[in-house]
Structure 1
Amino acid sequence: MASATTNHYDLIVLGTDFAGLVAAALVARRGKRVLVIPHGPIDGRYRLARRGFALDTAPLVHLGCPAVQRVFEELGLWTQIRREHRPLGELLHYALADHRLDAEPNDSSWLRETHREWPEDPVAEAWEHRRQWSEATDELLDDLLGSDSALVPDGFWSRRFLARVSNQLPAADFDELGPLTAGHPLRAQSRALEAWLQHLSPAQLGKAASLRISRLWERGPEDRSGGGPGLREQLVQRLELKSGEVKSNLRIAEIMHKRGRVTGITLLGKRDRYGCDHMLIATDPRRLIDGPLVAASLPKPLQVSLDNIESAARRFVLHLDIDERGIGPGLEGLVVCVPERAIETNEGAGMTYLRLEPGPGQEGVRSVSIVRVLGPDESTDDVRERILDELEQRGVLPFARPWLRLIHSPHDGREATDGAGQRLEAFGADTALRVPMDPLYRLRGAAPSLGVGMLPHSSGIKNLYFASRMTYPGLGLEGEFAAGWAAAGAVAAAGRAGLGRNLFLGRG
């Protein structure tokens, strides 16, 4: 039998989460040989014919945070990222159960709108109270999350770090909107973005993480052109400029172990074996169990940790092309639809986020991206219709169906159609997709540390690490960059140039 060819890497990364791309780019920058096997679209898009559609449409409000800044400083991209990160500059619409708020992204406009809706309520006083606590919490978290003690493998779980958190940040039962009554609609609105901007069930999100999201949103909200897919492309480019490779066509047959260490992988349909000194899983490890990653080979504490993580909700993505005549006057930018029972459920289910964007190049046509948060067992068979019905009933897209040129989701196994339900032949025959939805995680029986920490970097196997959206889900993109930096440090230490601590005292 012919011997297998062996390619050896310092680090093999499995998965597409930002944390894995960050770690891969940093390790390659530090002179190591890196291979990324995505197991999914590494650019964060799915494709119909030649068009790409984003799988995550949330604004990148975390790009100015210390962990993100630290990564891009080392990669030589911080000046460019800072220049491209800017306020949305679009109208923000909030469709509450019985109220509609339309505001420009600034405080004065927002307070005018809320006073118009609730002229007798202490809204301004409550908002000022919340703003003060958000700012104070934000400053503390900048210091904590930019510290060397946090940005090392499992630094979030150290007793010293958790002691600093408990001593300095607001208690879980603290009421930052104290002047408002318990059932006031603005309480639901104040937390409406949480199910979109991070990966933890809002019911388990710590008070500090919740206040941080609100403050980041109030700073702009800010985003960058190209969104998440564009950011991924920049990380991949930096990876490939050094000693990194991305091989999207590979399928793993087995993760090889020897004497308590991972030694590499075998590939489906190939005789090659890829060896490695370190391996990083940058996706939900449960997707690999009973496949390449055999459950019996994992330490018992890790198996217990994974068994206690469950999905509280899922994000369903829907893309539309619509004739401009089907868009009501005054509708621009971003719409947040809050369901009636948002405060009672607090898992995020029922939240809908809509963004109007430039069209696909056809005159008079706009594109609309929609994210709907579904319950963990909610059927996707008729979600398209339910979303469009609700947007019509709530006056967001009234009477839009005759003007729809494209309706498609990557999650429901249904083909691309127009508003009348007719199949769109221009996109080809394979438009019925079943891409897994992004979950909002929940830890069974306990609240995660700080409301953000869920799955530690350490696997119990010496050279196998985790870094994904599951590591610090409540911190969203910021948490993924922190996880990626820490995982990179376990493989190759950072150099000193350009990494002084003074960078993280402010956003700069």
Structure 2
Amino acid sequence: MRTQHYDAVFLGTRTPTLLTAAYLARNGLRVLVLGQGTSEPTSKVGEVELPRNPTMRLALGSPATRHLLDAIGVTPSLKRRASIAPIAIPLRLPSRSLDLERDEALRARTIAREFPEARRAMAAFERRCRLAREAFDAYVDHGGTLQGRGFRATRALRKLERDAVFGGDPLHFDPADELRREPLLVEALELVAAFHSGRVPPASGFGLALAYERALEGAIRIEGGEGWLRRTIVDRIEAYGGDVRPRISADRILLEGKAVSGLRLRTSHEEIGASAVISGIPAGRLLEILPEPVEDSPTAALLRAPRPAFARHLLHVAIAQEGVPRGLEAELFLLPPGSRRALLGLHLTRTAESGGLVWFTVESLVPIADDDPAELRARVLGALREVFHFADEHLRYVHSPNDAHGVTDARTGEVVWSADPSVELSPMETRDDLPRRGAAGLLGLPTELPVDGLLLANGQCLPELGVEGELLAGLEASRRLLEKSGTARFSRLAPFRSRRW
């Protein structure tokens, strides 16, 4: 017997998933969030807290982000705690440095100094990116749905795709076409887009334009980090009558005919009723908990579509304070030279300071075949020597949650803090190669799946938009549920369920 019934059950506790759950709870639906094995956003090495996802960019300029944050009343607190670095995109290229400021005039001077031949082409690139972003924001701001369902939604989507900035062909829109004579600069911009979105380059023209515009907002540092934001959102969910169970997972989605009816929990085998399930976990993991009759269905075919192409390797390094170059305040994008191009690129984030040491989190994108942890660690450390010129002298500790070396002392090679349960081994996150479709090539997997009441709201729906894409997918899934909340399937009364708390 099912002892509880929820309007919506969310799988995964990533921040965009929690924000979507809070939005639905605020709108009167009873929600439950299950952890489904999602890692905590931080881990501890001694007394130092290190992020697992240092490149989370909230895209505060996005209408979707603003709408969700405003709806649950988090925006004022977030603005008080947020600070933005003056350098929007700090880049280190094989032959030069390129710091792109948030101020347009200063940015133009930097380009004129480092790439004088590309000055006009870069100005044209930025103009096209701005126009594409303005068209996209206006579309989303007016409630546009990227799936284009219904007459009005389809008409609005066609209007977006026919915008003058795309020249009538959004799938082949290339804001950087005049920059192709400067391949190093184009490669650097693709690198920024890759870390912004997690999408394997090259990005689509529309995706590159949006990623560049969001990156120009600058690295936003929040006092208390992502952990504070997550705790605040969880408090909102519970205040609105929802439940968050980060350590509990479901092992089966239950169906009645072709519609979702509930879930079975993994450890207790308790069955929970649900009118809808919104998945924030990767499609492959969702497929594992679908019932067997779905194995050969169109739903399964969609969920099998993603193919891993690259992986994200994570390395934490502690550098003595005196060994940190001046100006390395928040983050740095590093494009390795050709000899190390097996690393697609690196992104350094300054994450913590303790006892005269500065901790940096280093993300690198590597081909999926390169899975030797020791070799990856050596490659990344080799590339870092180009940033920290006396790395061998100032490097103190090295740790990767992706290999079994533990936290090692860089001077002696001895393992330290290996008994800390928070530094457990975790696999590298993969980056999928998804076919581009619809909405000027931005769409990956659909939000609505063929099973009624089963929705997808993860990074695979709009893979080129990163966190913004997850929030857009979550907002679209929320609208679908709110539209259906008055239908017969949602309106049936159960003794353990309430429409509004």
> Post-superposition shift, 1:307?
2.6
Instruction: Tell me how far apart the structure 2 counterparts of residues 422 and 102 of structure 1 sit (CA, whole Å).
Output: 35
Q: TM-score w.r.t. structure 1 length?
A: 0.84
**RMSD over aligned Cα, in angstroms?**
3.1
What residue ranges of structure 1 are gaps of 5+ in the alignment? 496-508
Instruction: Tell me how far apart the structure 1 counterparts of residues 16 and 410 of structure 2 sit (CA, whole Å).
Output: 38
- Asked if residue 138 in structure 1 is aligned to residue 133 in structure 2, the reply is yes
CA change 1:181–1:468 in 2 (3 A) is: closer
1:56-95 matched pairs, under 5 angstroms: 56-58=53-55, 60=57, 62-89=59-86, 93-95=90-92
State the partner residue of 1:391: 384
Cα displacement string for residues 202-232 of structure 1 (whole angstroms, at most 9, x for unaligned residues): 32x3312211221222344545444444433
What residue ranges of structure 2 are gaps of 5+ in the alignment? 486-501
The 8 Å contact of residues 153 and 487 in structure 1, kept in 2 or not, is answered as no
Instruction: Tell me how far apart the structure 1 counterparts of residues 148 and 162 of structure 2 sit (CA, whole Å).
Output: 22
- Asked if residue 53 in structure 1 is aligned to residue 50 in structure 2, the reply is yes
- Structure with the larger helix share: 2
Q: TM-score w.r.t. structure 2 length?
A: 0.85
- Asked if residue 443 in structure 1 is aligned to residue 438 in structure 2, the reply is no
- Asked if residue 400 in structure 1 is aligned to residue 395 in structure 2, the reply is no
Q: 2:459 aligns with which of 444, 458, 469?
A: 469
SS of match in other structure, 2:477: helix
- Asked if residue 370 in structure 1 is aligned to residue 362 in structure 2, the reply is yes
State the partner residue of 1:498: none
Cα displacement string for residues 408-462 of structure 1 (whole angstroms, at most 9, x for unaligned residues): 1222233111213634444525466332433332225x55642321111222111
The 8 Å contact of residues 89 and 218 in structure 2, kept in 1 or not, is answered as no
State the partner residue of 2:498: none
- Asked if residue 481 in structure 1 is aligned to residue 471 in structure 2, the reply is yes
Aligned residues: 479
Which region of structure 1 is more displaced relative to structure 2, 100-109 or 309-318? 100-109
**Aligned AA (1:490):** R
**Aligned AA (1:428):** A
Instruction: Tell me how far apart the structure 2 counterparts of residues 488 and 141 of structure 1 sit (CA, whole Å).
Output: 20
CA change 1:46–1:449 in 2 (3 A) is: farther
SS of match in other structure, 1:486: helix
SS of match in other structure, 1:196: helix
SS of match in other structure, 1:193: helix
State the partner residue of 1:128: 123
Instruction: Tell me how far apart the structure 1 counterparts of residues 428 and 156 of structure 2 sit (CA, whole Å).
Output: 33
1:202-241 matched pairs, under 5 angstroms: 202-203=201-202, 205-241=203-239
State the partner residue of 1:502: none
State the partner residue of 2:263: 265
- Asked if residue 325 in structure 1 is aligned to residue 322 in structure 2, the reply is yes
Q: 2:304 aligns with which of 289, 304, 307?
A: 307
Which region of structure 1 is more displaced relative to structure 2, 134-143 or 447-456? 447-456
CA change 1:156–1:125 in 2 (3 A) is: farther
SS of match in other structure, 2:276: strand
Instruction: Tell me how far apart the structure 2 counterparts of residues 317 and 336 of structure 1 sit (CA, whole Å).
Output: 14
Cα displacement string for residues 345-401 of structure 1 (whole angstroms, at most 9, x for unaligned residues): 9xx951100122440x32x21111111011122114122221011121xx2022323
- Asked if residue 195 in structure 1 is aligned to residue 194 in structure 2, the reply is yes
- Asked if residue 243 in structure 1 is aligned to residue 241 in structure 2, the reply is yes
Instruction: Tell me how far apart the structure 1 counterparts of residues 153 and 426 of structure 2 sit (CA, whole Å).
Output: 36
**Aligned AA (1:396):** V
Cα displacement string for residues 459-479 of structure 1 (whole angstroms, at most 9, x for unaligned residues): 211111111111111122221
Instruction: Tell me how far apart the structure 1 counterparts of residues 248 and 381 of structure 2 sit (CA, whole Å).
Output: 38
- The structure with higher relative contact order (CA 8 Å, sep 6+) is 1
The 8 Å contact of residues 256 and 262 in structure 1, kept in 2 or not, is answered as yes
Q: 1:36 aligns with which of 20, 27, 33?
A: 33
Amino-acid identity (%): 23
> Post-superposition shift, 1:133?
1.2
Instruction: Tell me how far apart the structure 2 counterparts of residues 178 and 285 of structure 1 sit (CA, whole Å).
Output: 34
